[in-house]
Amino acid sequence: MPELPEVETTRRILEPYLLGRTLVRLEHADPARYRRTELAEGRSVLGTRRRGKYILIELEGGLEAVVHLGMTGGFRFAPHPHTRLTVHLGDAVIYYVDPRRFGKWWVVEAGDYGGIELLRRMGPEPLSEEFELEAFRQALARTPRRVKEVLLGQEAVAGVGNIYADESLWMSRIHPERPARSLRPEEVERLYQAIRGVMGRAVSAGGSTLSDASYRQPDGKPGYFQLEHNAYDRAGLPCNTPGCTGRIAKTVVGGRGTHFCPECQRP
Protein backbone atom coordinates (compact mmCIF):
# COMPACT_ATOMS: atom_id res chain seq x y z
CA MET A 1 0.00 0.00 0.00
CA PRO A 2 1.36 3.46 -0.78
CA GLU A 3 2.46 5.06 2.48
CA LEU A 4 3.62 8.59 3.27
CA PRO A 5 6.79 8.53 1.11
CA GLU A 6 5.00 7.15 -1.95
CA VAL A 7 2.06 9.54 -1.57
CA GLU A 8 4.34 12.54 -1.02
CA THR A 9 6.43 11.62 -4.06
CA THR A 10 3.26 11.33 -6.15
CA ARG A 11 1.98 14.69 -4.89
CA ARG A 12 5.24 16.48 -5.66
CA ILE A 13 5.33 15.16 -9.20
CA LEU A 14 1.65 15.91 -9.87
CA GLU A 15 1.60 19.42 -8.46
CA PRO A 16 3.28 21.24 -11.39
CA TYR A 17 0.82 19.61 -13.79
CA LEU A 18 -2.20 20.66 -11.73
CA LEU A 19 -1.48 24.11 -10.32
CA GLY A 20 -3.55 26.79 -12.00
CA ARG A 21 -5.19 24.26 -14.33
CA THR A 22 -8.92 23.69 -14.62
CA LEU A 23 -10.37 20.25 -13.94
CA VAL A 24 -12.52 20.19 -17.04
CA ARG A 25 -13.91 16.71 -16.43
CA LEU A 26 -13.34 13.79 -14.06
CA GLU A 27 -14.43 10.75 -16.03
CA HIS A 28 -15.22 7.45 -14.28
CA ALA A 29 -17.94 4.83 -13.95
CA ASP A 30 -17.98 4.28 -10.17
CA PRO A 31 -19.78 7.06 -8.25
CA ALA A 32 -19.82 4.98 -5.06
CA ARG A 33 -16.02 4.95 -4.95
CA TYR A 34 -15.37 8.36 -6.53
CA ARG A 35 -17.84 10.59 -4.73
CA ARG A 36 -19.25 13.94 -5.85
CA THR A 37 -16.48 14.42 -8.38
CA GLU A 38 -18.84 16.42 -10.58
CA LEU A 39 -18.50 19.28 -8.06
CA ALA A 40 -14.82 19.64 -8.99
CA GLU A 41 -15.46 20.03 -12.70
CA GLY A 42 -14.82 23.50 -14.06
CA ARG A 43 -12.79 24.54 -11.01
CA SER A 44 -9.14 25.58 -10.98
CA VAL A 45 -6.52 23.89 -8.80
CA LEU A 46 -5.12 26.33 -6.23
CA GLY A 47 -2.68 23.98 -4.50
CA THR A 48 -1.91 20.47 -3.30
CA ARG A 49 -0.84 19.03 0.01
CA ARG A 50 -0.64 15.69 1.73
CA ARG A 51 -2.10 14.50 5.02
CA GLY A 52 -0.89 11.06 6.06
CA LYS A 53 -1.61 8.82 3.09
CA TYR A 54 -4.12 11.24 1.51
CA ILE A 55 -3.53 13.73 -1.31
CA LEU A 56 -5.56 16.92 -0.87
CA ILE A 57 -6.19 19.03 -3.97
CA GLU A 58 -7.34 22.56 -3.14
CA LEU A 59 -9.96 23.86 -5.57
CA GLU A 60 -11.43 27.29 -6.13
CA GLY A 61 -14.77 27.88 -4.49
CA GLY A 62 -13.76 26.39 -1.13
CA LEU A 63 -13.69 22.75 -2.18
CA GLU A 64 -11.11 19.99 -1.87
CA ALA A 65 -10.60 16.78 -3.80
CA VAL A 66 -9.40 14.13 -1.36
CA VAL A 67 -7.60 11.14 -2.89
CA HIS A 68 -6.69 7.94 -1.06
CA LEU A 69 -4.60 5.58 -3.18
CA GLY A 70 -5.66 2.43 -1.34
CA MET A 71 -3.43 -0.60 -1.92
CA THR A 72 -2.52 -0.16 -5.58
CA GLY A 73 -3.68 3.30 -6.62
CA GLY A 74 -1.52 5.84 -8.42
CA PHE A 75 -1.34 8.29 -11.29
CA ARG A 76 0.12 8.00 -14.78
CA PHE A 77 0.74 10.44 -17.57
CA ALA A 78 0.05 7.80 -20.24
CA PRO A 79 -2.99 5.54 -20.81
CA HIS A 80 -3.00 2.46 -18.61
CA PRO A 81 -5.14 -0.73 -18.71
CA HIS A 82 -6.19 -0.26 -15.07
CA THR A 83 -7.36 3.34 -15.41
CA ARG A 84 -10.35 3.96 -13.12
CA LEU A 85 -10.65 7.74 -13.33
CA THR A 86 -9.46 10.11 -16.05
CA VAL A 87 -8.64 13.73 -15.22
CA HIS A 88 -9.22 15.96 -18.24
CA LEU A 89 -7.31 19.25 -18.02
CA GLY A 90 -8.22 20.66 -21.42
CA ASP A 91 -4.97 20.18 -23.30
CA ALA A 92 -3.69 17.37 -21.05
CA VAL A 93 -4.93 14.18 -19.43
CA ILE A 94 -3.84 12.44 -16.21
CA TYR A 95 -4.88 8.85 -15.50
CA TYR A 96 -5.73 7.51 -12.05
CA VAL A 97 -5.00 3.78 -12.06
CA ASP A 98 -5.92 1.21 -9.42
CA PRO A 99 -5.69 -2.51 -10.28
CA ARG A 100 -7.31 -3.70 -7.05
CA ARG A 101 -9.88 -0.90 -6.77
CA PHE A 102 -9.36 0.00 -3.11
CA GLY A 103 -8.62 3.67 -3.74
CA LYS A 104 -11.25 6.38 -3.19
CA TRP A 105 -11.91 10.00 -4.09
CA TRP A 106 -14.11 12.53 -2.32
CA VAL A 107 -14.93 16.12 -3.19
CA VAL A 108 -15.78 17.97 0.03
CA GLU A 109 -16.00 21.44 1.50
CA ALA A 110 -12.42 22.37 2.41
CA GLY A 111 -11.54 20.82 5.77
CA ASP A 112 -14.84 18.94 6.14
CA TYR A 113 -13.64 15.40 6.74
CA GLY A 114 -16.61 14.19 8.75
CA GLY A 115 -17.23 11.41 6.22
CA ILE A 116 -13.57 10.35 6.11
CA GLU A 117 -13.04 8.99 9.61
CA LEU A 118 -9.33 8.17 9.43
CA LEU A 119 -8.43 11.57 7.98
CA ARG A 120 -10.46 13.32 10.67
CA ARG A 121 -8.65 11.67 13.61
CA MET A 122 -5.16 11.47 12.15
CA GLY A 123 -2.11 12.29 14.29
CA PRO A 124 0.82 14.61 13.54
CA GLU A 125 2.96 14.41 10.43
CA PRO A 126 6.26 12.66 11.28
CA LEU A 127 8.43 15.16 9.41
CA SER A 128 6.70 18.22 10.87
CA GLU A 129 7.34 20.27 14.00
CA GLU A 130 3.97 19.06 15.32
CA PHE A 131 5.42 15.57 15.80
CA GLU A 132 6.79 16.07 19.31
CA LEU A 133 8.64 13.49 21.36
CA GLU A 134 6.69 14.06 24.57
CA ALA A 135 3.28 13.82 22.89
CA PHE A 136 4.43 10.65 21.11
CA ARG A 137 5.55 9.19 24.44
CA GLN A 138 2.16 9.95 25.98
CA ALA A 139 0.31 8.38 23.05
CA LEU A 140 2.27 5.14 23.48
CA ALA A 141 2.02 5.15 27.27
CA ARG A 142 -1.76 5.17 27.37
CA THR A 143 -2.43 2.02 25.34
CA PRO A 144 -1.79 -1.69 25.89
CA ARG A 145 -1.86 -2.35 22.16
CA ARG A 146 1.24 -3.72 20.47
CA VAL A 147 3.55 -0.99 19.30
CA LYS A 148 3.28 -1.88 15.63
CA GLU A 149 -0.51 -1.75 15.83
CA VAL A 150 -0.26 1.72 17.33
CA LEU A 151 1.94 2.91 14.48
CA LEU A 152 -0.44 1.48 11.89
CA GLY A 153 -3.39 3.15 13.61
CA GLN A 154 -2.34 6.64 12.38
CA GLU A 155 -3.36 8.45 15.58
CA ALA A 156 0.04 8.59 17.28
CA VAL A 157 1.76 9.57 14.03
CA ALA A 158 0.41 9.91 10.49
CA GLY A 159 1.47 8.11 7.34
CA VAL A 160 3.38 5.16 8.82
CA GLY A 161 2.21 1.91 7.22
CA ASN A 162 3.49 -1.63 7.13
CA ILE A 163 6.81 -1.05 5.37
CA TYR A 164 7.96 1.92 7.39
CA ALA A 165 6.70 0.57 10.72
CA ASP A 166 8.91 -2.51 10.22
CA GLU A 167 11.87 -0.38 9.18
CA SER A 168 11.48 2.05 12.08
CA LEU A 169 11.10 -0.72 14.67
CA TRP A 170 14.16 -2.53 13.30
CA MET A 171 16.23 0.64 13.45
CA SER A 172 15.15 1.35 17.03
CA ARG A 173 15.66 -2.32 18.05
CA ILE A 174 12.10 -2.69 19.37
CA HIS A 175 10.09 -5.89 18.95
CA PRO A 176 6.87 -5.17 17.02
CA GLU A 177 4.74 -7.09 19.54
CA ARG A 178 5.89 -5.14 22.58
CA PRO A 179 2.98 -3.46 24.37
CA ALA A 180 3.34 0.22 23.52
CA ARG A 181 3.11 1.30 27.15
CA SER A 182 6.00 -1.00 28.09
CA LEU A 183 8.55 1.04 26.13
CA ARG A 184 11.13 2.81 28.25
CA PRO A 185 11.81 6.52 27.66
CA GLU A 186 15.03 5.83 25.78
CA GLU A 187 13.24 3.30 23.55
CA VAL A 188 10.50 5.79 22.73
CA GLU A 189 13.12 8.35 21.76
CA ARG A 190 14.91 5.82 19.56
CA LEU A 191 11.64 4.98 17.83
CA TYR A 192 10.76 8.65 17.42
CA GLN A 193 14.11 9.40 15.79
CA ALA A 194 13.91 6.25 13.66
CA ILE A 195 10.50 7.20 12.25
CA ARG A 196 11.73 10.65 11.30
CA GLY A 197 14.93 9.28 9.77
CA VAL A 198 13.31 6.45 7.82
CA MET A 199 10.53 8.67 6.46
CA GLY A 200 12.93 11.41 5.43
CA ARG A 201 15.21 9.02 3.55
CA ALA A 202 12.29 7.22 1.93
CA VAL A 203 10.82 10.47 0.61
CA SER A 204 14.23 11.41 -0.81
CA ALA A 205 14.41 8.02 -2.54
CA GLY A 206 10.93 8.33 -4.09
CA GLY A 207 9.37 5.65 -1.88
CA SER A 208 9.55 1.86 -2.21
CA THR A 209 8.65 -0.18 -5.28
CA LEU A 210 8.24 -3.82 -4.29
CA SER A 211 8.44 -6.97 -6.41
CA ASP A 212 4.82 -6.61 -7.59
CA ALA A 213 5.67 -3.13 -8.97
CA SER A 214 2.20 -1.91 -7.92
CA TYR A 215 3.67 1.44 -6.90
CA ARG A 216 5.38 3.57 -9.48
CA GLN A 217 5.80 7.30 -9.77
CA PRO A 218 3.46 9.08 -12.24
CA ASP A 219 6.19 9.11 -14.89
CA GLY A 220 6.52 5.32 -14.58
CA LYS A 221 9.79 5.33 -12.68
CA PRO A 222 10.10 3.16 -9.56
CA GLY A 223 10.97 4.31 -6.09
CA TYR A 224 14.38 3.26 -4.79
CA PHE A 225 14.06 3.02 -1.01
CA GLN A 226 13.51 -0.75 -1.25
CA LEU A 227 17.25 -0.95 -1.85
CA GLU A 228 17.73 0.33 1.69
CA HIS A 229 15.25 -1.96 3.46
CA ASN A 230 16.71 -3.67 6.51
CA ALA A 231 13.63 -5.60 7.65
CA TYR A 232 10.62 -5.41 5.35
CA ASP A 233 10.39 -8.26 2.81
CA ARG A 234 13.76 -9.70 3.93
CA ALA A 235 12.54 -12.83 5.75
CA GLY A 236 15.33 -15.40 6.07
CA LEU A 237 18.10 -12.96 5.14
CA PRO A 238 20.90 -11.95 7.53
CA CYS A 239 20.29 -8.96 9.77
CA ASN A 240 22.22 -5.90 8.66
CA THR A 241 23.14 -4.78 12.16
CA PRO A 242 26.94 -4.97 12.46
CA GLY A 243 27.93 -7.96 14.58
CA CYS A 244 24.43 -9.49 14.65
CA THR A 245 24.17 -13.16 13.71
CA GLY A 246 20.36 -13.18 13.47
CA ARG A 247 18.19 -13.53 10.41
CA ILE A 248 15.06 -11.56 9.65
CA ALA A 249 11.91 -13.40 10.73
CA LYS A 250 8.31 -12.88 9.68
CA THR A 251 5.18 -12.98 11.79
CA VAL A 252 1.72 -11.37 11.71
CA VAL A 253 0.82 -8.35 13.83
CA GLY A 254 -2.52 -6.65 13.48
CA GLY A 255 -3.27 -8.74 10.42
CA ARG A 256 -0.17 -7.49 8.60
CA GLY A 257 2.95 -9.41 7.66
CA THR A 258 5.68 -8.16 9.99
CA HIS A 259 9.46 -8.45 9.62
CA PHE A 260 11.95 -8.18 12.48
CA CYS A 261 15.26 -9.54 13.78
CA PRO A 262 14.76 -11.94 16.75
CA GLU A 263 18.28 -11.09 18.00
CA CYS A 264 18.22 -7.29 17.77
CA GLN A 265 14.54 -6.85 18.59
CA ARG A 266 13.98 -9.07 21.59
CA PRO A 267 10.49 -9.13 23.13
Binding site for DNA, by residue number, is 82, 100
Residue 81 annotated in active site: no
Catalytic residue among 3, 58, 125, 149: 3
Confirm whether 2 is a catalytic residue.
yes
16 an active-site residue?
Answer: no
Residues annotated within a binding site: 82, 100
Active site residue 53: yes
Pick the closest to residue 98 from 124, 139, 69, 122 (CA basis).
69
- Are residues 51 and 76 in contact, defined by beta-carbon separation less than 8 angstroms? no
Catalytic residue among 11, 50, 51, 53: 53
- Residue type, position 244, single letter: C
Question: DSSP string spanning the chain?
Answer: ---HHHHHHHHHHHHHHHTT-EE-EEEES-TTTEETGGGGTTEEEEEEEEETTEEEEEETTTEEEEEE-TTT-EEESS--TTEEEEEE-SS-EEEEE-TT---EEEEEETT--TT-HHHHT----TTSTT--HHHHHHHHHT--SBHHHHHHTSSSSSS--HHHHHHHHHHHT--TTSBGGG--HHHHHHHHHHHHHHHHHHHHTT----TT-----TTSPPP-GGGG-SSTT-TTSBP-STT---B-EEEEETTEEEEE-TTTS--
Residue 45: strand pairing partners = 59
**Which of the residues 2, 126, 176, 218 is marked catalytic?**
2
User: What are φ and ψ of residue 138, in 5° steps?
Assistant: -65, -40
- Residues that are catalytic: 2-3, 53, 256
